[in-house]
Amino acid sequence: MHIDHKLWNSRAMKRELGFDDEGRPVLITAAATPYEEQHRQRVRKYLAIMSFRIPALILAAAAYGLWHNGLISLAIIAVSLPLPWMAVLIANDRPPRRAEEPRRFNDSPQRTPLFPRAEHRALDAGISAAQPHAAGGRDRGSH
């Protein structure tokens, strides 16, 4: 693609090609977040949730040392038990789907026959399609 130097210097041409007034590319804000950035965010969420697990175990030990009550310690541990499961679920969650993103699931049921049969081309259709012309030609010739 050949671009005239005079046109390149014009602001309209730069904007049309996706550059700002200084010649830097314009950021596309509607683009999806890159996979690497999504992965970093998910790892941060996972580590943030899992960082409550060790302090909960220490708190359970401290509560048992202070009050000598095993039920309080067990309650603290019970609250911390689903943390790894929740951390994995939250970390594996993808960003919400946009409205313009196509759906992949086809909800119309497709019938698969138990014993598939080979498809046969209708040879009669070719013959019957040729017969009216032949019959019409014969009729015209016989009249």
pLDDT tens by residue, 45-89:
999 999 999 999 999 999 999 999 999 999 999 999 999 999 999
Distance CA 58, CA 143 (A): 109
Residue 71, in any domain of the structure:
yes
pLDDT tens by residue, 23-53:
676 666 666 778 899 899 999 999 999 999 9
Residue 111 confidence (pLDDT): 74
Q: How many domains does the chain have?
A: 1
Residue 2, in any domain of the structure:
no
Residue 67, in any domain of the structure:
yes
Q: Domain limits at 72?
A: 34-95
H-type helices in the chain, by residue range?
5-9, 11-16, 35-50, 53-67, 70-80, 83-92, 123-142
Would you say 80 and 53 are in contact if contact means Cβ atoms under 8 Å apart? yes
Residue 106, in any domain of the structure:
no
Task: Categorise residue 19: left if φ over 0, alpha if ψ from -120 to 50, beta otherwise.
Answer: beta
Residue 125, in any domain of the structure:
no
Distance CA 139, CA 101 (A): 61
Residue 131, in any domain of the structure:
no
Residue 140, in any domain of the structure:
no
Strand partners, 25: 19
Residue 28, in any domain of the structure:
no
Minimal CA–CA distance to 83: which of 64, 41, 62, 55? 55
